[in-house]
Amino acid sequence: MPATRLMPTDEAADLIELTREICRKELAPHVDDAERKREFPASTFRTLGQAGLLSLPYPEEFGGADQPYEVYLQVVEEIASVWMSVAVGVSVHSLTAYPVAEFGSRAQQEALLPGMLSGEQLGAYCLSEPLAGSDIASMATRATRATGSAAGWTLKGTKAWISHAGHADYYLTFARTADTGAKGLSTFIVPGHAPGLTFAEPERKMGLHCDPVAQVTFDGVAVEADRIVGDEGQGMHIALSALDSGRLGIAAAATGLAQGALDHAVAYAKERQQFGRSISSFQGVAFMLADMEAAVTSARATYLHAARLKDAGRPFGKEAAVAKLVATDAAMKVTTDAVQVLGGAGYTEDFPLERYLREAKVTQIFEGTNQIQRLVISRAVLGS
C-alpha cells in the first residue's frame, strides 16, 4: 500500500507520482537481476538525473528544483522502497553537492553545480579512512601546498569504504592541511580521472551489491587551487554539516526499505493459507504487521520533523540524529519481522525480503554508526 503523504504543494505531489511511475517502470523490473549480478546502475542514475530527481533540494539557478528537503527525502524514501542501492546512491550523490552549494564560492557553484545536479556527473564522498572511521578527526590523508610554479595542492593518503569508487566523476575529499586535529582539515573536489587516483577491488559486503564500495588511494594527486571548497581548516565543520543532511537521506532510505518490506509481508500474509485460512487472520501475524506499520510511520515522522526544521532554517542536528537512529533501527526490526511473516519462503532468494534484511543492517553503520548518533543526541540533551 503506498504511504499516505501530505505534500506541501501540488508540484511536490506530482514529483511523488513521477517517482512512483519511474520506480514501477524503470527500477522494479531490473532490481533483482542487477543486485544478483552486482551491476553498477549507471543508466538508472542517468534516468533519475534526466527526470530532475538528483537535484531536488538545490537552487534552480544551478539546475536544481528548489524543493524543500522534506520533498527530496520523500522521493528518496519512494526509491528505497523498490531499490535500496539506488536510493543510497542518490543520497550519497546529493551529499557530495552540498559542500559546493553551501560553502563553495560563486565561481565554483557556477562551474561545478550544473554538472552535478543534472546527473551528468556522479559524485563520491571521501571521508572515512582505514584507521579513521567514527573518529574522523584522526584522518591521515594529507593535502600539501604544491611548490614551484604550480599553485594548488597535492593529496596523499587512502580513503576507505567509498561508495561509487571507480564509477564517480568527482571525489569530494577531506584531507589534513595542518596538524591541528579537527581544525586542520580541508575539503577538495578531485576529478575522477586525476592522475595518481587509484581504486582497490570492491569490498565483498553483505548487501547493497549495486553500490560498489572500495578504498580510494591518492598517490600525489594534484588538485588545482580553485578546487578547495570553503576555507582552509573548515573541513570538519563542512563534513559534520553535510552529515547532518546526509543522515536524513539515510533515515528516509531506511524508512522506504522498511515500507517495501512491510508491503511484501502484507501481500504474502493475505495470500498464504495455513490451517484452512489466511495466515493474516491469525492475531500473531496481524499484530506483527501492526507493529511494523507503527514502526514505519514513526520512522517517517522523525525524519519529516527534522527536515521541516531544516527547511525552516532552524537547527536540526539532534533531530537528524534521532531520525537516523529511529528509522534505521526500525528498518532492521521491520525487515527481520517481514522475513518471519513469510516463514521459509522469506529465507529464500525467491522473494526480496532476505535482501531487504541484509540491506537494513548497513543503515545502522554508515553516515555515523547508531552509537555515534546516541553520542550526538546525548550531548544535545545534556548540553555538553
Ligand X SMILES: Cc1cc2nc3c(=O)[nH]c(=O)nc-3n(C[C@H](O)[C@H](O)[C@H](O)COP(=O)(O)OP(=O)(O)OC[C@H]3O[C@@H](n4cnc5c(N)ncnc54)[C@H](O)[C@@H]3O)c2cc1C
Q: Does 138 bind ligand X (CB under 6 A)?
A: no
362 binds ligand X per the rule CB under 6 A: yes
| Alpha-carbon gap, residue 202 to 210, rounded angstroms | 11
Contact (Cβ atoms closer than 8 angstroms) between residue 53 and residue 19 = yes
Cell numbers of 236, please? 570538519
- 35 assigned to active site: no
Residue number with CB closer to ligand X (348 or 371)? 371
**Residue among 22, 65, 86, 92 that touches ligand X (CB under 6 A):** 92
* Percentages of the chain per state (helix, strand, coil), in multiples of 5: 55, 15, 30
Binding piece for ligand X, criterion CB under 6 A, among 23-31, 69-77, 115-123, 205-213:
205-213
Interface with ligand X, residue 375, by CB under 6 A = yes
Q: Where are the beta strands (DSSP E) in the chain?
A: 123-126, 142-145, 153-163, 170-176, 185-191, 197-199, 213-223, 228-229, 273-274, 277-278
Contacts with ligand X, 144-163, as mask; x by CB under 6 A: -----------------xxx
Binding of residue 134 to ligand X (CB under 6 A):
yes
Q: Determine, following the binding rule CB under 6 A, whether residue 371 of this chain makes contact with ligand X.
A: yes
CB of 161 to ligand X, least distance (A): 3
Q: Residue 146's CB: how many other CB atoms inside 10 A?
A: 15
Residue 71 binds to ligand X (criterion: CB under 6 A): no
What residues contact 73, with CB distance under 8 A and at least 6 apart? 248, 249, 251, 252, 303, 304, 307
Residue 298 interacts with ligand X (CB under 6 A): yes or no: no
Task: Find where cell 504487521 sits.
Answer: 289
Contact with ligand X (CB under 6 A): which of 48, 100, 213, 248? 213
Cβ of residue 150: shortest distance to ligand X, in angstroms? 28
Q: Which is nearer to ligand X, 241 or 369 (CB)?
A: 369
365 interacts with ligand X by CB under 6 A: yes
| Pairing verdict, β 123-126 and 170-176 | parallel
**What is d(CA 154, CA 142) in angstroms, rounded to the nearest whole number?**
8
> DSSP letter at 226?
G
Closest CB 23 distance from ligand X, rounded Å: 22
Q: How far apart are CB 268 and ligand X at their closest, in Å?
A: 28
Catalytically active residues, by annotation: 367
Query: Which residues form the interface with ligand X (CB under 6 A)?
Result: 92, 125-128, 133-134, 161-163, 205, 208, 213, 362, 365-369, 371-372, 375
